[in-house]
């Protein structure tokens, strides 16, 4: 189990309020944005945003499976992670959560919101996809968010995967990509790929590391913003879900 976990990508998720802080999102600014949550896992952001009237869909490699199967995977991963957290107390920076118990309660509520929405909105809001390829046309979304995959797993996803995945997210975005966190899974230090990625993207895109107000892991208080330097950088215009074309469907 220990050796297998070193290669595993956890199927976990974060809550709506966490997303607002992790990505420095201001809800009024998103009223006319079409948003993709890429590699969303069991996060409740898409569910809660749609319930509030916003235009968000999610993509993940495990979507397409039954809610029951994903619940089993998520529950096993969550329990394994909670056991691992016993050895990571020095890396926790309680800010968003009051303590360990508060984190567990919040996570469970977030997972429940995701699974309930997935059961009824699986085909409309949750698209099966596997980076570094996404099944969407160019400029399909105004904003693409990516949480807890890139940089975090730099011990098992190589630099080419990072670069091609980010280029793919840029391709399907008309304006901006935001990635959080920038630290590695097994330390509180920034991934070795961050500077290389910024260097390789900078000739064509505006890149910026920004501080965020979200606090949970020590050192994980920054996100990477990647903006297209051409095209309309004004407020988002409303795009309905019907305008998104999914290849092969």
Decide if 156 is inside a domain: yes
Decide if 102 is inside a domain: yes
Decide if 147 is inside a domain: yes
Count of the separate structural domains present in the chain: 1
Q: Per-residue pLDDT tens for 154-170? A: 999 999 999 999 999 99
Decide if 110 is inside a domain: yes
For 32-57, what is the mean pLDDT?
A: 96
CATH number at residue 130: 3.40.50.150
Contact partners, residue 182, CB within 8 Å, separation at least 6: 151, 190, 191, 194, 209, 220, 222, 223, 224
Decide if 5 is inside a domain: no
Q: Per-residue pLDDT tens for 168-223? A: 999 999 999 999 999 998 888 999 999 999 999 988 999 999 999 998 888 899 99
Q: Per-residue pLDDT tens for 4-27? A: 455 678 788 899 999 999 999 999
Q: Which domain holds residue 173?
A: 14-243
Cis amide leading into 108 (omega within 30) = no
The pTM of this model reads: 0.87
For 70-78, what is the mean pLDDT?
A: 85
Q: Which of 151, 111, 92 is nearest to 11 (CA)?
A: 111
């Amino acid at each position: 189990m220990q050796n297998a976990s070193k290669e595993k990508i956890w199927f976990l998720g974060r809550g709506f309020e966490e997303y607002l802080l992790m990505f420095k999102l201001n809800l009024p600014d998103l009223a006319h944005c079409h948003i993709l949550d890429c590699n969303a896992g069991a996060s409740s952001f898409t569910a809660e945003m749609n319930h509030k009237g916003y235009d968000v869909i999610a993509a993940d490699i495990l979507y397409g499976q039954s809610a029951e199967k994903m619940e089993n995977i998520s529950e096993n991963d969550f329990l394994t992670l909670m056991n691992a957290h016993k050895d990571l107390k020095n890396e926790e920076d309680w800010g968003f959560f009051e303590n360990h118990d508060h984190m567990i309660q919040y996570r469970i509520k977030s997972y429940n919101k995701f699974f309930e929405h997935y059961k009824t909105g699986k085909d409309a809001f949750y698209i099966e996809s596997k980076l570094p390829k996404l099944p969407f046309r160019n400029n399909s979304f105004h904003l693409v968010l990516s949480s807890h995959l890139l940089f975090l797993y730099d011990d098992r996803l190589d630099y080419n995967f990072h670069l091609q995945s980010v280029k793919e997210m840029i391709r399907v975005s008309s304006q901006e990509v935001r990635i959080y966190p920038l630290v590695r899974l097994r330390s509180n230090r920034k991934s070795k790929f961050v500077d290389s990625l910024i260097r390789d993207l900078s000739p064509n895109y505006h890149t910026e590391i920004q501080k965020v107000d979200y606090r949970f892991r020590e050192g994980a208080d920054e996100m990477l913003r990647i903006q297209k330097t051409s095209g309309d950088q004004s407020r988002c215009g409303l795009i309905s879900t019907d305008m998104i074309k999914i290849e092969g469907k």
